[in-house]
A and B are shown apart, each in its own frame.
Chain A
Amino acid sequence: MMGNKTEKLKDKKNRPIDGGDRQIKTGRSIRLKQHQKYLAAFMAVLLAFSTYVMMDTFFITRVYSDTETSAIDAQEQDGAADTDENAADAGASSDSSGEETQNGTENDSEAGNQHSGNRASGGASVGISGKDGNTHGRMKGGKGGKGHGPGGRPGSHSSESDEETGADANTSASVSSGSSASAVSTSDSYKDDNVSIALKEYRENDTTIYVADVQLKDSSYLKTAFAQGSYGKNVTAKTSEIAESAGAILAVNGDYYGAQESGYVIRNGKLYRNKALKNQEDLVIYKDGSFGIINESKVTAEQLIKKGAVQTLSFGPALVQNGNVSVSENEEVGQAMASNPRTAIGIIDENHYVFVVSDGRTSESAGLSLNELAEFMDGLGVETAYNLDGGGSSTMYFNGKVVNNPTTGGSTTKERSVSDIVYIGK
């Protein structure tokens, strides 16, 4: 439309310009305003989309049923013997050093043996193998191995002798009888015929560290559980709530799988997520209770199931492998810098584990770097240790109580909701 407005042209300093009147086309200014409207509309769409992304990341809950997850019962996999499996095993065994970190390779001659459960001193290395004949979790036996156990690290623990383990004269011991055995439970210990747990507190690097020394009769007592009993995204609950629901004696937060969109999720023998995260280092717990460290880029979740994996934890990194610290002083989880609350799990011996949680981000406890955590785990005598989700998630639950000081929302002492736990059940 032609303009219907006439005005004198003026320059920036409001001086009339020679040349007479000019016709001003109002349509042009209308188009300008249209463009501004387009931009404003686009910004509104951008804001709405960004809001949706935030909601999807942090709030929108998605629970996946068994039909949506590729739930594969480990028993079904074990029962299926086919040539493919043999071929895969043959290929895997020759490449096992790339797939898994094994705790020592010098005793390959014992690879075909089932573990004897030998905890005798003498330092003999025992090869642990699954049904496929691969050695995938070797633990040094007894006192001959490196380290001294939680009570033996010199100068760093509040309890100086093993005799104090489980014997707290200041608290009453409760005895309960169940179908299996009578259990003796105190504020820092638990013992029945199948499970023995001793809780100790350490002070290192201006940080309070809680160590639960766990000895099991059978590795089946080492389990995991999902928040609200469901696998899904943003399905969370406090560690203590999950532990209580699961009937846990001892529990720590897991790998917070729900925050990730990839990374293997195998829990209690079932495969829930087989989408690999590139170069992700996982902790694998096998049916015989042994630990292994794998790289998701080099082995599939299905292969792990076939090898007898019952649990995978996908956070990392591995702290100790083959009895050696495997994190440098400069290595950190993601972009996190030094001192933070930490959670870690390690294996000392056959069916002998340690659950470790450190406080942090408070005036009482600064927190630990990954290297400090690794050194501490190494000092406990672990053969393999793995870092789990830390920061505000770090929580240890024992005998019905949260024993550490979890911080969330900064330095506020408050338990954070997490998506899963690792626990010792009855």
Chain B
Amino acid sequence: MIDTCLPGQEDSEVNINGCAGDGDKSGMPEDRNAVNAVNDVNDGNDLKTALIYMIISIVLAVGGAVYEHFSFGVYSNYMIYAFAVPLIGGTLPYMLSAMRYRVSKTASDDAAARTEQAPVKLIGKVIRHWMYHAAIATLTVGSIMQGILAICGRPNSLVIVYPIAAVILIAASAALSIRQPGHKYVKLSASRDCSQYKH
């Protein structure tokens, strides 16, 4: 992992921060290898996360099919499609993110990475926040619970908590991600002493 030089900089993933903060690249040489290194790590982490979500989706799909097989024909769409939550909410965005890093690594001009659209960047931050993972987990568990209760014919009003909590978590992760200072990962300071670049 490549760290920032500045204390207090939130960087939960392996984005590289310029020592001088966002946008100020004066006097700092480009370090293409470092950029590629970071992108390699980003790409690897995203793929790893996507793979984890994929495994979860597969387990849920298989589990739902087995449950339905032994339920004497009683079924619930919530149980059948529970696998779709981690698949769409986890595997898909992380796969897209991994592909994005690969594209930027091979871009002839790093400016392409620098000028990445803000919404895309925001989404990238949101899905990397722990609250987003918590939201996906909540929705998945909620779907399974609803399926079990529907199959048993035992409704419970408490299951409404799951989607409400998930929405709150996603909103919180988005809000916190917006507040988080932007990080560009295209330049590194070659200097050992970053104090001159402190905010």
Residue positions of A touching B, CB distance < 8 A? 1-3, 9-13, 17-25, 27-29, 31-32, 35-36, 38-39, 42-43, 46, 49-50, 52-54, 56-58, 256, 259-261, 334-340, 361, 391, 410
Query: Cβ of B138: which chain A residues have Cβ within 8 Å of it?
Result: 46
Q: Is the CB of A361 within 8 A of B72?
A: yes
Query: Cβ of B141: which chain A residues have Cβ within 8 Å of it?
Result: 46, 50
Q: Is the CB of B5 within 8 A of A56?
A: no
Q: Provide the B15-39 mask, 1 if CB < 8 A to any CB of A, else 0.
A: 0000000000000000101101100
CA distance A206 to B158 in the complex (A): 41
Query: Can you offer 30 A-B residue contacts whose CB atoms are under 8 A?
Result: A1-B7, A11-B37, A17-B31, A17-B33, A17-B37, A19-B188, A19-B190, A20-B190, A22-B192, A23-B192, A23-B194, A24-B1, A28-B4, A31-B10, A32-B12, A38-B130, A42-B137, A43-B137, A56-B158, A57-B154, A58-B154, A259-B153, A334-B74, A334-B153, A335-B150, A336-B72, A336-B73, A336-B74, A337-B74, A410-B70
Query: Cβ of A336: which chain B residues have Cβ within 8 Å of it?
Result: 72-74
B interface bracket (residues with beta carbon within 8 Å of A): 35 or more
- B104 to nearest A CB, angstroms? 15
Q: Is the CB of A20 within 8 A of B192?
A: yes
Q: Provide the B122-158 mask, 1 if CB < 8 A to any CB of A, else 0.
A: 0000000010011001100100010011111111111
Known: A11-B40, A19-B33, A46-B137. A31 touches B12 (CB 8 A): yes
Known: A32-B12, A35-B130. A25 touches B4 (CB 8 A): yes
CA distance A340 to B138 in the complex (A): 34
Q: Which residue of B lies closest to A25 (CB)?
A: B3
Q: Is the CB of B133 within 8 A of A39?
A: yes
Q: Does B41 contact A (CB under 8 A)?
A: yes
Query: Cβ of A20: which chain B residues have Cβ within 8 Å of it?
Result: 190, 192
Q: Is the CB of B137 within 8 A of A28?
A: no
* New contact pairs (14) apart from A9-B34, A18-B31, A39-B134, CB-CB < 8 Å: A2-B7, A11-B40, A17-B37, A36-B130, A42-B130, A42-B134, A42-B137, A46-B141, A53-B156, A57-B154, A58-B152, A260-B154, A261-B156, A340-B72
